[in-house]
Structure 1
């Protein structure tokens, strides 16, 4: 999985499949179930850490579920669309509201799943509905309220449902102003985040009343390194792969950070990254 994950780490999956439409996805899931093979559905693999032993079962990638269309100020897209492509599509249609989320590295499905956000804009601010597959492979649609959005969580969190599509509401805007804002957000991101290294972005959720990166920095952990895994010296909320890290190295850094921060400040940092695979 190291060829697919943002961390560039992780062992192999028993099966790797890419689906191009919902019918293919449902058919494949039925086949896997008939063979008692577990299935894991991933988008851009940006917010997951696959263990070094890999995944026993089938990984299904949804990146080719990438249809997108606009009707007035409403954009409808499949879950495999990247957030960058969604923001770019909004810009091309002179729609404002996606500028701040243009640098989120994940897919629409993953972003809705965890209520991803950036620079003050979260999915709960722009999503109006989403469509998903339940455990019985039936299709359902959620309204905005039914998403139960919270801090890096939603109705979908910890549920075995598969997001197929989402609808977003934007506002008409000036194309040049939208472009200017996107450029400024990209500049800010580049100046404050270690984009030159492989990472999953912010590793820990924001604890109530604190900032994870600030706690980690104040604990003196900037630059803390285990082999190729290191707490970024640019942004302490990021644990980066400097080139030869294993998933075990990253997990070791995470565990040390959690322990030190808890011992110093009594704050229990909760991982934002999903850890998946054989232990």
Structure 2
């Protein structure tokens, strides 16, 4: 199976799309392939094909903290902004990786939950915030995360506890193991 064959499964995948259309800085050359999965199943299919075909894979959130080179990115670029569901159950907010961290903070506030106030001005995605342990105004992502659901590059779904994420200043485990934050 080739990447573009995934279109028949309803996956939004395109070829040679300028990434400048998606970055906040409006910079960046083309993605050889660009996909916007809507759910975990689509994401798993994309990861599986890249692994089977040995295609380079780059995953980004909403590209608010990126400057992409003019020559673009080879292989498949996955933008997770379609995976943006946010739910509240009791005292827990669960947000998919593509959800904006600002929206997640306001959802928590409307539910009477505190802790994410520092994120109300961060323009990135939940996945990006976890990836880099984003923070502002004395708060950091690591202070509010209970667990992180990821998809490994081998296609395995895993859940890591806050402690297992090895958060430190602008760093987390997923920078090292290249797992894809799902929620």
Q: TM-score, structure 1 length as denominator?
A: 0.57
Could you tell me how far apart the structure 1 residues matched to 2:133 and 2:55 are? 29
Secondary structure of 1:156's match?
Answer: helix
1:144 to 162, 167, 177: 162
CA–CA distance in structure 2, aligned partners of residues 130 and 111 of structure 1: 11
Match of 1:210 in 2: none
Q: Quick check: 1:39 aligned with 2:57?
A: yes
2:176 matches 1:161: no
Show the counterpart of 1:124: 142
How far off its partner does 1:86 sit?
A: 0.2
- Describe the superposition over 1:47-76 as per-residue Cα deviations: whole angstroms up to 9, x where unpaired: 222111111111111111111111111111
**Superposed counterparts of 1:15-30, under 5 Å:** 15-30=33-48
1:106-117, aligned counterparts within 5 Å?
106-117=124-135
SS of the equivalent of 1:102 reads: helix
| Aligned equivalents of 2:153, 2:42: Cα separation in 1 | 16
Aligned position for 1:215: none
Please name the residue that 2:72 is paired with. Answer: 54
Gaps of 5+ in 2: 1-18
How many Å apart are 1:138 and its aligned residue? 0.5
SS of the aligned residue for 1:57 comes to strand
* Consecutive unaligned residues in structure 1, runs of 5 or more: 166-279
SS for the counterpart of 2:76 is strand
What SS is found at the alignment partner of 1:31? helix
Equivalents in 2 of 1:146, 1:36: separation in Å? 29
Aligned residues: 165
Which of 76, 79, 94 is the equivalent residue of 1:76? 94
**Partner of 2:143: helix, strand, or coil?**
helix
Question: Residue by residue, what CA displacement relative to the aligned partner does 1:159-178 show, whole Å, maximum 9, x if unpaired?
Answer: 3210111xxxxxxxxxxxxx
Task: Output aligned runs, 1:184-263, within 5 Å.
Answer: none
**Does residue 98 in structure 1 map to residue 98 in structure 2?**
no
